[in-house]
Chain A
């Protein structure tokens, strides 16, 4: 496990933290526990002898606990795909594969044409992300800062969509995508069938609006007095200080697009256009267990990578300190 820890911890140290907060490494004997921000626990208490013990205990407990709860299953998956089908059903289960083989990974890659599936899914997730940001950020900004007539009603109607189980409106939504009202376009088997519905996400609008509400009005007024248009203000004032929430919205969108299953199953029926979860599901009933697990592992890797990338942005956005002033 140390490898993984080093690997994933890397972005944290590499993130553009303000240089002055870097602890001067040499000389200080008991290293101070540095705080980038003030939180509920006071830095002085934290660095008192007692606080230090409590802090390190909590840290160790949390790291070990989280690793057991969330990393171990992943370990089981990754190694499970290295076992043979017989070994997978063995009782008691083996914790290390008796013979490490990557055959299942190779077979999964080949059998499912995983490269193409992943490419398709990246296209869907990327587009969904762009559309969601473009559509939901402008909407949240309008609702939060421009406050148009009926704005509250519109927000309420957007939030109302969270009350409907996706399964409920799947069929009507499918019919809509098949034959867009008024326009008569058929979006089936096109990326638009994923991109546009993804943008209609009430939760994202809510999260963004909530964040924009917390931006001090003076900041915007200052820009406005300088003659900036609302679009300009959004682009050069609001967005830069909203990176944390944009990071959260981004990751939620990408992960949803990546995981979504029933909807792409309906709207992307062409072999050539399938997403990875549909492709796996199409073959899962027939696949040997270890090949299935291998394909699931490979299908999960991109989201994890994307998260690592966004993690930096979230942290960078926070350290920029736009909200702290």
Chain B
């Protein structure tokens, strides 16, 4: 029994020892190349950086041009080693962001969309780029889209994509409903009329589609509110400002369309792709959206691109500024920051290069002529150069975007409502879903409730 007792023990122990030994071997590999960036970053030799947001495999044309740019950039900058490029999509993944940052796995140069910029800056999760941005040739030409990346006079990121809101509509559906696609609605009253005619086409037809959950409801409420001249928070960011005649008008309008006109369908669209898919399905008349919606409908949702067009947001006094940009890992060394900025500049900010290489895009089955990214002031050298290249190589029908460009001229852009945008959007989802699901919803009361909640939130954040 004594000897067998020994053997009894030995078995499982051996097994677990094997497990541990094997896992040690298994982990050896990734650490070897995982530790390189920090080791070589500080030395005088080549700087290693990692970048994310390579276009996914589903987007073949853009992926190909991106790969070309990587190769060209490497050739141009032998002292910069872009050692890893990730193509996870969506580029900003909230579920993994914190974990990757905490674990030191976050890329040196990382993508971020506008609603999340404020809170990353606020939380100190992006590097301060102020000392370095002067080295960028086109930096001085930026328009107001840069503001969202600024805090207390410091710059924490660079926008690479930007656009103002508008009204996206389906010209084919307009024609079917007896409306003139060349003459889309200019006022909300006209939107209502058009929506009524479209939903009268039969089952499945929706005149106007709108979001109501997962924070996109509040996001579109903000866009509508800005358009009517309202504001979400007070200029000092300390109080809610949306419980106003403008805010009530947004909800009241939706309520009328939903219940009096019955022109919005009875389905709720609770996340970004849901409404996009419905719009791409060819039975929805109108939705609020920026020009990028059209391109996304074409590239990502396989819609019949030529059917869609965008016009200016009705009665707009200000345009909600959407977009995305890049920030740099707060743990990056100065050399890595410089190298990262060089890549951003090359790929996104140089007219005639990278994403702004319209000659190549034209030949690569990509659309040219959509009025975005809108990054530079119209009268700056960079802005004019981009406009010239774009119009020279345009391959989309000008009438798809012309009304938007014309109608949006001179309307002030307006940024996300501060670092707590997502919390505020979550609260504003409630009034949006209420007017779309309850016939007896009271816009004034809904907004008063939401106002109290937002005020409590902001008071706590100080």
Contact = CB atoms under 8 A, between A and B. Distances in A.
Interface of A: 85-86, 89, 91, 111-113, 131, 134, 138, 170-171, 174-175, 178-179, 183, 185-192, 196, 227, 229-231, 262, 265-266, 269, 271, 282-283, 285-289
Nearest 8 CB-CB pairings of A with B: A178-B103, A91-B204, A286-B58, A89-B281, A185-B27, A190-B26, A174-B99, A286-B300
Given A91-B204, A174-B103, A185-B27, A285 B273 contact: yes
Contacts of A191: 26
Contact of A229 (B7, B24, B87, B105): B7
B4 A188 contact: no
Nearest to B202: A91
B23 A192 contact: yes
B99 A266 contact: yes
A42 B274 CA distance: 54
B98 A282 contact: no
Contacts of B86: 269, 271
Contacts of B57: 111-113, 283
Contact of B203 (A85, A91, A131, A287): A91
A77 B342 CA distance: 47
Contacts of A113: 57
Contact of B56 (A86, A178, A231, A283): A283
Contacts of A286: 56, 58-59, 89, 299-300
A190 B88 contact: no
Interface stretch (B28-36, B168-176, B190-198, B350-358): B28-36
Given A186-B34, A189-B30, A111 B58 contact: yes
Given A231-B11, A283-B89, A286-B89, A188 B105 contact: yes
A287 B103 contact: no
Contacts of B95: 262, 265-266
Contacts of B26: 187, 190-192
A185 B24 contact: yes
Given A171-B99, A190-B30, A289-B277, A282 B56 contact: yes
Interface string B83-108: 00011111001011011101111000
A191 B273 CA distance: 32
A231 B99 contact: no
Contact of A285 (B90, B100, B103): B90
Contacts, number: 104
Nearest to A270: B30
Nearest to B31: A186
A186 B33 CA distance: 12
A229 B104 CA distance: 48
A33 B376 CA distance: 81
Given A190-B27, A266-B95, A283-B56, A134 B102 contact: no
B445 interface: no
A196 to B, nearest CB: 7
A190 B27 CA distance: 7
Contact of B89 (A175, A187, A285, A289): A285
13 contacts: A89-B281, A91-B203, A91-B283, A131-B19, A171-B98, A175-B99, A175-B102, A178-B104, A186-B30, A192-B23, A231-B8, A283-B56, A288-B302
B41 interface: no
Given A231-B8, A266-B96, A282 B89 contact: yes
B27 A192 contact: yes
B15 interface: yes
Nearest to B204: A91
Nearest to A290: B302
A265 B96 contact: yes
B330 interface: no
B96 A287 contact: no
Contacts of A287: 58
Interface string B1-43: 0001001100110010001000110110111001000000000
B99 A271 contact: no
Given A282-B88, A283-B57, A186 B102 contact: no
Contacts of A189: 30
B282 interface: yes
Nearest to A174: B99
A231 B13 CA distance: 12
B270 to A, nearest CB: 15
Given A231-B8, A269-B86, A187 B27 contact: yes
Nearest to A196: B23
Contacts of B56: 282-283, 286
Interface in B69-95: 86-90, 93, 95
Nearest to B34: A186
B297 to A, nearest CB: 12
Interface centre among B19, B95, B103 (most CB of A within 10 A): B103
Nearest to A262: B95
Nearest to B299: A286
B12 A138 contact: yes
Given A138-B12, A178-B105, A190-B30, A285 B300 contact: yes
Contacts of A170: 99
Contacts of B103: 174-175, 178-179, 188
Given A192-B26, A285-B89, 11 more contacts: A85-B302, A89-B277, A112-B57, A134-B15, A175-B99, A185-B31, A186-B27, A189-B30, A227-B4, A282-B56, A283-B57
Contacts of B24: 183, 185
Interface string B190-215: 00000000000001100000000000
Contacts of B277: 89, 289
A241 to B, nearest CB: 20
A196 B56 CA distance: 31
Nearest to A88: B281
Interface string B301-338: 11000000000000000000000000000000000000
A271 B54 CA distance: 12
Contacts of B12: 138, 231
B324 to A, nearest CB: 15
A175 to B, nearest CB: 6
A190 B8 CA distance: 31
A113 B56 CA distance: 13
A271 B19 CA distance: 26
Interface in B398-432: none
Contacts of A134: 15
B160 to A, nearest CB: 19
A2 B323 CA distance: 53
A188 B100 CA distance: 11
